[in-house]
Structure 1
Amino acid sequence: MTRYLLVSRSAEYENRLRRLLGARLQTVPGEYLAFGTTEVVGQVQDDPAVALLGPLLSFDESRSIAAALREKNAGLGIIVVREQRSDLEDWVDAMDIQAVLSPEATDTTTLDLVERLDAWLVTAGRAQPYSGDAIASGVEEASTLTFVELAADDDATDGEDALDAEVADESSAVEAWVLPPMDPAVRSEVITVAAPKGGQGKTTMAVNLAVGLAEVAPNSVVIVDADLQFGDVANVLDLQPTRDLADFVRAADDEVQIKTQLVRHSDDFFVVPAPLSPEFADDIDAASLGRLIDQLAKMFRYVIVDTTPGLGEHTITALEHATDGVFVSSLTVASLRALRTEFQLLTELGLIPRNRHIVLNNVEKNTGLIPADATAIIGAEADVVVPRSQGVLLAANAGAPLIHHDPRDSAAKAVRALVQRVDPAAVPTRRRIHRKARQDEPE
């Protein structure tokens, strides 16, 4: 019989709690949320005394799960596992929870908080005593106190652990996300997407790279829209950001502030939007953009930078910091010659990224040029050839990434090949396609 429940998208945190709580813990992967809160609650066995929600659950997800679990078991104790604490009051205003626990809290603090809440629930008559392992003692007078009052006097949250476990007496309508920790053994990759001219499909490539890489590294991918004048990553993804690149470069040295400003897409990646208005571009200097890219590379496995067409100072800065360069051109003489000139200049400057990917986009027959002609003009063979497809426009108008909107589309398959050049593990799966189809079904 299980005593505790964890709903989380973090396999690492799940493994850690299993080690601490053993057979007393049941886990429900957050991926079940793709099918609704009812599906999550339907996976819950027995009647757990304490539920931990997070990390990597949004405010709305946490609130809906908490409400559904409480409807099933009114006496349930709920702990939200999340990193940010600045908006704690908002979370508790809208949610009946007993405590907030940092995912970085020590094992001692985590176990102590869970077992003290369990003991209080038993003493207060909200849960039955556990017939297995002993429950923490020392709460004889808990029935006369709220858990907030009880824990406020607890030494477990003193000293170095004071920020690890926080007792909630209020709650938040602002989404908070906890990023998976970066493994020191895994290097971050900065992928700069560039084009010599506008209208080549650069943003489409950048967005779909983010989507595809997020399939194998969920919540570990961020796309930076550094097309300063008219960047439209947010528009392509149907997002309505309130913060933009100018806000991020001002906070380039503050990881906590960056986390609070990130915009999260439902496909498990984050977005740093372009300036909301072209005049704000003047507030962003190239050096500040470089510092932001460096900071993001410490936080994310993949940093994708969509750039301004041409070789302005901001694009050059993005290429200076890149491990991979994706260069996009249409199959026209003017664009190909411009790309050749761009390569020549970057070679002279020593700025060709060590991993270079050339993409020919919107390729169609009977235009007087074939990919072999592009090789002759550029002086290098194209790595990915993307055929012209109506699916690209349909996906953009739907505010959906191409590789998920119609995975069988010829252009989507070609773009998938680009994603796999960066990470060969990013293969399409039935689960991902099925999830997207369910989301698109009419209600």
Structure 2
Amino acid sequence: MNAPFLLVGRSVEFELRLRELLGARLSTVPGAFVTFGADAVAEQVEGSPKAVLLGPVLNFDETHALAETLTERHPGLAVVVVREQRSDLEDWVDELRLHAVVSPLASDDELKEVLGGVARWLVTNELAAADDFRPVRHSVDATSAFEEYIAEVEPETAPETEPESGARAEDDGELESSADTEGDSIGVDGVDASESIEEPEPAAPEWEFPPLDAARPTEAIAVVAPKGGQGKTTIAINLAAGLAKAAPNSVVLVDADLQFGDITAALDLAPEGTIVDATSEVAADELILKTTLTHHKGDFFVVASAPSPELGDRIAPQALGRLIEQLRGIFRYVVIDTTPGLGEHSLVVLEHVTDAVFVSNLGVPALRALRTELELLRTLGLLPVNRRVVVNQTEKNAGLTVKDAEQIIGAPVDVDVPRSTAVLLASNKGVPLLDDDPRDPAARALRALVTRIAPEAADTRTRRRR
């Protein structure tokens, strides 16, 4: 589903508020792109948004250029300016083709009122379909109050006040806007509020969450590397895919690389919910948490990475630990792809897991870094009892052998994964290597890692005759 609302602004705080309100209905373009011009912003827009919010912290020229460029590329696009009540607001409304103006200090109810009115106006004027604003499965906003407002608000509750400053949008059938005092939202006229957006019955998923076996403890497995570029994400993906063959729909893969997680890109997924939603306070409810998950056709689930490094950094370490414990109450296996190094979030992950897979390539700097990492975790008392060491991307002419790696690390190597072009090909296809080319040597090594953790996942297929 394309997000119907687009935000272009420079306030992280307002973006977080709006994301809490709209969830998957919101896409954003960071304000940094505004510096390079309106065309640069337009190139970042995905899909066909129905309404764009411009601001806060955009000047008149930037807002004018963005409104002109975006409405030219997306005919019928509603334009909402996010701006405090100021003396020049009337000039903005007179010179720009605006549909509404709202203050960044407006309350959540006022934001709902304005955006709900914009949504109804777009549907009433056949500039958008009702389906564009309906909640989506696997999205935390499926239970938000936003769609309830659209569906339940009565015509008389829509604001009918005129702007004190006389500021109005151009009267050519577009929505009119009104401005109140600072901190208030801008009202919306010209909308038939009686025409609510009806919500469809959610389609029954083809999968279900299997009940946990009380006799078998759940396992949480962290995939850890001291440096980036070691193939940690590839191993996490294939570990989840391999475990799912033994426990279908009982495996969840968490992208806890909070700044640059790319699991959804490597699996060609379009998630509606992210780890930002999964670690929010409302996701403490298990039913809501389940709506933030994305189901993969390989019979496992994914908690997608944060939409931006800024949002990822805002996730509290304690919230990440709580998420792991929640998921262990739902799934047989929880696989966590961590941020490289031993930052605060990675340390919290290691506090809440039963197993860890440590990954390094065959380079001396990476191997020494891994040794240091293991020693530090042992000193902190955070080294899991169940741990495996994987040397990735090995090759014969590297100048080092696996035995050499063991001496440098100071620990035995459990699995060495040979370098293979099949890994890159599978990633470019958006498919786990275990599914794309199971006979590749790298795939066989990864399958060996899976069976070390879950012996029941051993491949029992009979060999083909020569």
For normalisation by structure 1, the TM-score amounts to 0.58
Residue of structure 1 in register with 2:388 after alignment? 357
- Which aligned pairs between 1:300-339 and structure 2 lie closer than 5 A? 300-339=331-370
Q: How big is the shift at 1:367? A: 1.5
Which of 281, 290, 304 is residue 273 of structure 1 equivalent to?
304
Structure 1: any 5+ residue segments left out of the alignment? Answer: 1-83, 89-168, 434-443
Q: How big is the shift at 1:359? A: 0.1
- Cα deviations by residue, 1:349-386 (Å, 9 ceiling, x for unpaired): 11111101000000001121111111111101100000
* Structure 1 residues 87 and 354: CA distance shift in structure 2, 3 A: same
Which of 238, 252, 270 is residue 222 of structure 1 equivalent to?
252
- Cα deviations by residue, 1:255-276 (Å, 9 ceiling, x for unpaired): 0001122100001000001101
- Which aligned pairs between 1:170-185 and structure 2 lie closer than 5 A? 171-173=201-203, 175=205, 178-185=208-215
- Which aligned pairs between 1:83-122 and structure 2 lie closer than 5 A? none
- Cα deviations by residue, 1:322-374 (Å, 9 ceiling, x for unpaired): 11100000000000000000001000011111101000000001121111111
Distance in 1 of aligned mates of 2:330 and 2:314: 24
SS in 1 for 2:284: coil
- Cα deviations by residue, 1:260-296 (Å, 9 ceiling, x for unpaired): 2210000100000110111111320100000000000
Residue of structure 2 in register with 1:213 after alignment? 243
Q: How big is the shift at 1:175? A: 4.5
Residue of structure 1 in register with 2:128 after alignment? none
Which of 400, 403, 410 is residue 379 of structure 1 equivalent to?
410
The one-letter amino acid of 1:271's match is V
Distance in 1 of aligned mates of 2:256 and 2:361: 21
Q: How big is the shift at 1:184? A: 1.6
Q: How big is the shift at 1:181? A: 1.1
* Structure 1 residues 429 and 401: CA distance shift in structure 2, 3 A: farther
Distance in 2 of aligned mates of 1:182 and 1:170: 31
Cα RMSD after superposing both structures: 2.3
- Which aligned pairs between 1:391-406 and structure 2 lie closer than 5 A? 391-406=422-437
Distance in 2 of aligned mates of 1:227 and 1:207: 13
Matched length: 269
Residue of structure 2 in register with 1:238 after alignment? 268
Distance in 2 of aligned mates of 1:184 and 1:427: 23
Which of 258, 270, 286 is residue 317 of structure 2 equivalent to?
286
Residue of structure 2 in register with 1:118 after alignment? none
Q: How big is the shift at 1:424? A: 1.0
Residue of structure 2 in register with 1:51 after alignment? none
SS in 2 for 1:366: helix
Q: Is the Cα–Cα contact under 8 Å of residues 268 and 430 in structure 2 kept in the other structure?
A: yes
Q: Is the Cα–Cα contact under 8 Å of residues 196 and 310 in structure 1 kept in the other structure?
A: yes
Q: Is the Cα–Cα contact under 8 Å of residues 87 and 172 in structure 1 kept in the other structure?
A: no
The one-letter amino acid of 1:294's match is E
Runs of 4+ in 1 over 4 A off after TM superposition: 173-177
Among the aligned pairs, what percent are the same residue?
57
* Structure 1 residues 170 and 314: CA distance shift in structure 2, 3 A: closer
- Which aligned pairs between 1:51-90 and structure 2 lie closer than 5 A? none
Distance in 2 of aligned mates of 1:429 and 1:399: 26
Distance in 2 of aligned mates of 1:174 and 1:308: 35
Q: Is the Cα–Cα contact under 8 Å of residues 182 and 299 in structure 1 kept in the other structure?
A: yes
Q: How big is the shift at 1:178? A: 2.9
Which of 246, 249, 263 is residue 294 of structure 2 equivalent to?
263
Distance in 1 of aligned mates of 2:293 and 2:207: 9
Residue of structure 1 in register with 2:195 after alignment? none
Q: How big is the shift at 1:177? A: 5.0
For normalisation by structure 2, the TM-score amounts to 0.55
Distance in 1 of aligned mates of 2:395 and 2:315: 38
SS in 2 for 1:356: strand
- Cα deviations by residue, 1:74-93 (Å, 9 ceiling, x for unpaired): xxxxxxxxxx9x979xxxxx
- Which aligned pairs between 1:340-355 and structure 2 lie closer than 5 A? 340-355=371-386
The one-letter amino acid of 1:217's match is A
Q: Is the Cα–Cα contact under 8 Å of residues 252 and 295 in structure 1 kept in the other structure?
A: no
The one-letter amino acid of 1:346's match is L
Structure 2: any 5+ residue segments left out of the alignment? Answer: 1-138, 144-198
Q: How big is the shift at 1:191? A: 0.2
Q: Is the Cα–Cα contact under 8 Å of residues 176 and 260 in structure 1 kept in the other structure?
A: no
Q: How big is the shift at 1:252? A: 4.3
Distance in 2 of aligned mates of 1:170 and 1:362: 49
Distance in 1 of aligned mates of 2:283 and 2:349: 15
After TM superposition, the structure 1 stretch with the greater mean CA deviation from structure 2, 206-215 or 169-178, is: 169-178
